[in-house]
Structure 1
Amino acid sequence: MNPWPYPRWIAHRGAGKLAPENTLAAFRVGAAHGYRMFECDVKLSADGVPFLMHDATLQRTTSGHGTGGDRSWSELSMLDAGSWHSRTFAGEPLPTFDNIARYCLHNGHLLNIEIKPTPGTAAHTGRVVAQRATELWAQADTPPLLTSFEPDALAAARDAAPDLPRGLLLDTLPSGWFEAARQLGCVAIVCNHALWDADTVARVHAAGMRTLSYTVNDEWAAERLLALGTNGIITDRVDLFSPIG
């Protein structure tokens, strides 16, 4: 396999549950716990600005309502993305992808970008996010890892930025999952941690791909994955797992 530049431990959405997910505050909390690689979700505003948010709709993690991708960035930038979590983070704004990228680049952090398109925009989102990532990391030694559950998003990212590494996200192992990952030129499979077993890990490694897992919040699960020889663990429990352990 080619050299793998990423650490084993990756902080989910910045800092897991300790701060409002997918915000700059969460990244700062994760970094304070020693993490140097972060996972985040990126989608597009109605006017094409890449920004961080997991859900298609706004109401769970912001003061807004409706579909995030239907709003302009000027509208989205005014939302409170912290009060839902706790009073400590009241008023925390949604970050643009550029905000997070520059924070990571200036601090020497690495990034796993999950392309999280608004339904119906997979290819467009994959293309825009990959192009912007190429521009932002043009002078960096280690590129971001692009991942998605959407093969169309990964295909568009591959076509727009073939040199950026890609990983296929999986919640199950449907027929053809392995062939799809190879066709997309993936360097990694990122799946629900319960799906890995010795045979599946060996098959993926034999094809030159890495094995990553989400979302690992229990010691027994982490120990099982380490014993299997998997390569990456995405966790909410930045307070439980030491990234250098």
Structure 2
Amino acid sequence: MSAPWPYPFWIAHRGAGKLAPENTLAAFRLGASHGWRMFECDAKLSADGVVILLHDATLQRTTSGQGTAGDLPWSTLARLDAGSWHSRQYAGEPLPTLENVTRFCRASDWLLNIEIKPTPGTDRATGEEVARVAALCWAQAAVPPLLTSFSPKALAGARHAAPHLPRGLLLDGLPEGWLDEARSLDCGAVVNQHTQWTAETVEQTQAAGLRALSYTVNEPEAARRLVGFGIDGIITDRIDLFAPAARSA
């Protein structure tokens, strides 16, 4: 029997999908203005151990910086422009820390799905620190953040640092032993690429007491298919298309 699931069905990918620069406070504000209550984001460590929001290992796609983010201290990363790559409207938007985003969400009772996105070679340390910061920032919160990762080592680190925080195993397919791995990490959810779910694997996940979530669902037809399977949650870029208060597509 699955434990009670406190999260909404719809989750805004990286704050506001593609409508604002991903993983910035500007994106969270835009997502919130569209009525979204839960946001997915990517978290990794700076060289001096600050948890920042950034998807890629390197800086050049989404900031004015170059090189590997994990090689630089927060004092350098804090000065980067994380908005101009998206559009002139967001020029000068800074990289946020996980603490920045937490304060924003806690002020309005919004929820977070924090994807632990380690710089290669730092999986366990990143999982531990993300979980430590999340546990501290969300202490006394009615609903804690959901921690997810493609890295079992990162999830193991998160479990060690904050075993009470819920976790989800991210997958891009269902390789042999996927369900056993999720259970061995004491996960409460499996988050899979949307084309890889079937009605049978959703049912199998739920029968094991886990929730089945799906990313990144941007087409109504794909969402309807997943709803028909009985999926427990959908992550989407299309905050302008789907109604976050509804369970239907």
TM over 0.5: yes
SS state at 1:134 partner: helix
What's the CA shift for 1:132? 0.9
Deviation at 1:176, TM superposition (A): 1.1
Q: How does 1:30-41 map to 2 (within 5 A)?
A: 30-41=31-42
For residues 78 and 123 of structure 1, the distance between their equivalents in structure 2, rounded to whole angstroms, comes to 27
Partners of 1:191 and 1:197 lie apart in 2 by 11
Q: Who is 1:106 aligned against?
A: 107
Whole-Å Cα distance in 1 between the matches of residues 34 and 50 of structure 2? Answer: 30
> What is the one-letter code of the residue matched to 1:188?
A
Corresponding residue for residue 223 of structure 1: 224
5 Å-filtered alignment, 1:21-170, equals 21-170=22-171
Q: Partners of 1:19 and 1:198 in 2: how far apart?
A: 33
Supply the distance in 1 between the matched residues of 2:206 and 2:176 (Cα, whole angstroms).
19
In 2, the alpha carbon distance for the partners of 1:156 and 1:133 equals 13
Q: How big is each residue's C-alpha offset from its partner over 1:113-165, in whole Å with a ceiling of 9 and x where there is no partner?
A: 00000000000000011011111111100000000000000011011111000
Letter of the 2:54 counterpart: M
Query: Partner letter of residue 133 of structure 2?
Result: R
- What is the percentage of aligned positions where both structures have the same residue? 67
Is the partner of 2:4 in helix, strand or coil? coil
Structure 1 position 172, deviation (Å): 1.8
Report the residue type matching 2:214 in the other structure.
S
Q: Deviations over 1:219-245 (max 9, x none)?
A: 000000111110100000000001012
Deviation of the 1:198 alpha carbon: 1.1
Query: How much has 1:175 moved relative to structure 2?
Result: 1.3
RMSD: 0.5
1:11 maps to amino acid: A
- Gaps in structure 1 of 5+ consecutive residues: none
SS at match of 1:58: coil
Aligned length: 245
SS at match of 1:212: strand
C-alpha distance in 1 between matches for 2:72 and 2:199: 45
Runs of 4+ in 1 over 2 A off after TM superposition: none
